[in-house]
Homo-oligomer: A and B are copies of this chain.
């Protein structure tokens, strides 16, 4: 593909200095005469010179790239995380290389991490919401800055995560506060930490209120599984309040309830989780829990940069509290 761009020596020649001086200007080294700096800048502009990241990475042993390992980047949560991460990284002058994996098993994760490592990324963010991912992480080389997002709370890796438990507790409490006897729960898959946390929070809130938790309805994040659970819930007259592990499950539940003639929130109240942009336009508008993806992204990147700069590993941990967004899908129970 045609010509390679100009190199540092070309700039140097044009500016009448050595390539090292150009390097110094580029890296903001203090001891360069102002006049020289300007000459170099002009030469850079004139030639349209662009530093070669590969060469720099080779000699410094580290590139200005952060690797992200994620699965399922079309789901709203992961997609938002990824986008927020990119934004934040760009602001810090880092590029983001995405290693999407089909499955979050040992092999896939290791392979993705390997690929990142061979490009000498400065650090790695693993969005690792399931168990198998956690295991894979323990086998990784120890000398790479690494942060886990939504990972296993019980593992000694730097971790940033949404406070699933608190969010679920708030959602459940919100329903109890409205006067409901108990709250049913449509969960996500059991191997996701997010699911487990949300189940725990739901259960905690009920137990604290002295209520025996009703049987769990297991879903898989999809509207389809929400719909199936909703069909069962709709036929149980004693059900008046449902907390679903995400908004898409809620959508499926709403649809099933609608088909069975159970009105929301008149007959049954529903609360979701995620606050997808469309949640306000469900029928009825969905009360839900909003995790702050931007905050998670900022925190992870900060944690990663700290590791990169200081060289210390350290098992830091940060938890971002989500907020309840009240809309029209919750009402007191009818008697």
Contact = CB atoms under 8 A, between A and B. Distances in A.
Contacts of A82: 73, 98
A184 interface: no
Interface in A47-81: 48, 50-55, 57-58, 61-65, 73-74, 76, 79-80
A210 interface: no
Interface string A293-335: 0000000000000011001000000000000000000000000
Interface stretch (A199-207, A234-242, A276-284): A276-284
A82 to B, nearest CB: 7
A107 B118 CA distance: 31
A281 B97 contact: no
Contacts of A17: none
A286 to B, nearest CB: 11
A217 interface: no
B226 A119 contact: no
A116 interface: yes
Given A54-B119, A223-B281, A97 B98 contact: yes
B119 A95 contact: yes
Given A95-B115, A97-B98, A80 B86 contact: no
B74 A87 contact: no
B74 A100 contact: no
Interface stretch (A152-160, A164-172, A188-196, A250-258): A250-258
B118 A102 contact: no
A55 B58 contact: yes
A50 B86 CA distance: 26
The copy count of this chain in the complex is: 2
A66 B3 CA distance: 19
Contact of A65 (B80, B87, B119, B258): B119
7 tightest A-B CB contacts, nearest first: A2-B143, A223-B281, A86-B100, A54-B57, A53-B119, A54-B58, A79-B79
Given A54-B119, A248-B277, 17 more contacts: A1-B145, A52-B118, A53-B118, A53-B120, A55-B58, A65-B119, A73-B79, A73-B86, A74-B83, A74-B277, A86-B99, A90-B99, A95-B115, A95-B119, A98-B98, A251-B281, A255-B282
28 contacts: A1-B307, A1-B311, A2-B142, A2-B311, A5-B141, A50-B118, A52-B120, A53-B118, A54-B54, A54-B57, A54-B63, A73-B83, A82-B98, A83-B100, A87-B100, A90-B100, A90-B115, A95-B116, A96-B100, A98-B98, A223-B278, A223-B281, A224-B280, A226-B281, A227-B281, A248-B281, A278-B278, A283-B283
